[in-house]
Chains A and B, each alone.
Chain A
Amino acid sequence: MALEADAAPAALIRLVAALADNKYFLGRRYAGWCTSAPTLESAVASAAMAQDEIGHARSLYPLLRDLAGDSPQTEPETRTEFDAMPALQEPFSGWEDFVAANFLLDTAVTVMLEAARTSSHQALAQRARRMLEEEPLHWLHAEGWVQRMADGPPGMRRALAGALRRATPSALGWFDHAAPDLVASSMLDAGAQDLRMRFRGRVNPPLADSGLEPV
């Protein structure tokens, strides 16, 4: 398939901006629970994951600047047009929202990074590989808390199920950033539909183990 001139760069800019913004917002939302998580241990884990995510954003914004040029919109301190998922736009209303974001939204971003691991855009591929080294711990935390809350009292289980339902459209919609141009130019190894399948293949087995609805 022939690419239109500049089509892939525009899609790449949108993807890198969205990766940076969602990492930044995940970090900010995780950080909000550093002092109010249910246990001291999970407070420390929240702080560590917040630090990871903000560190990832910090490595992606310079790439955005390289691709889109210097402007207030490519600096995180002056950027106002953030492209974060709807479920990350507002602070979490409870720990169940933290767990749902950790399980669904963090994982959705990870699935996108995995698709960029062998990207033809070297700078993106290098960053993706580096960021992915820290994500297995986030997944363990998410899986552990989903199981714990699903096995908890009925009210806790209902709260988790509700939070997962609210976060699901954000997670599935996120994959629209995997534009066909990016696949055609080998910047990503799969498009939106395939990435949604990979995502469901990751999150649905633990949801089934916990007797929760699949996404």
Chain B
Amino acid sequence: MWEVFARRKFEEPLHHVGTVAADDERLAQVYARTIFNEFSWVEMVIFRRDSAVRIMES
């Protein structure tokens, strides 16, 4: 699972726009680009969910 972050303007922070399921980084890129295409993003990045460092949990 990959977490997808994007921003519409360079002066805005990246924000979470959703997730995509893929076992391949190339496919994750394609899926993120084609699923979250509602805006003309200036930047989009993806992270593997299991690469997150959890610093707080309830």
The verdict on B54 contacting chain A, using a C-beta distance below 8 Å, is no
The smallest beta-carbon distance between A86 and chain B, in angstroms, is 27
What residue in chain B is nearest A46 (Cβ atoms)?
B34
Assuming the A-B contacts A44-B31, A44-B35, A48-B34, are A140 and B22 also in contact, with contact meaning beta carbons closer than 8 angstroms in the complex?
A: no
Mark out the residues of chain B between 3 and 21 whose CB falls within 8 Å of any chain A CB in the assembled complex.
20-21
B31 close to A140 (CB less than 8 A): no
User: A41 near B20 (CB under 8 angstroms)?
Assistant: yes
Interfacial residues of chain A within 26-69, with CB under 8 A of chain B in the complex: 39, 41-42, 44-45, 47-48
Contacts of A140 in B (CB 8 A): 26-27, 29-30
How far in angstroms is the closest Cβ of chain B from A133?
Answer: 13
**Are A144 and B34 closer than 8 Å at their CB atoms?**
no
A interface, size bucket: 10 to 19
Q: B19 to nearest A CB, angstroms?
A: 10
- Are A44's CB and B24's CB within 8 A? no
Q: Is B49 an interface residue (CB 8 A)?
A: no
Q: Is the interface of A mostly helix, strand, loop or mixed?
A: helix
Please state if B27 and A41 are interface contacts (CB–CB under 8 Å). Answer: yes
Contacts of B27 in A (CB 8 A): 41-42, 140-141, 144-145, 148
Specify which chain B residues have a CB less than 8 angstroms from the CB of A10 in the assembled complex. none
Interchain CA distance A192-B58 in the complex, whole Å: 64
Interface string of B22-56 (1 = CB under 8 A from A): 11111101110111010000000000000000000
**Residues A39 and B21 in contact, CB atoms below 8 Å apart:** yes
A143, CB-defined interface residue at 8 Å: yes
Cβ–Cβ < 8 Å partners of B25 in chain A: 144
**In the assembled complex, which residues on chain B have CB atoms less than 8 Å from the CB atom of A47?**
34
Chain B residues with Cβ below 8 Å from A132 are none
Which of B's residues lie within 8 Å of A, judged by CB?
20-27, 29-31, 33-35, 37
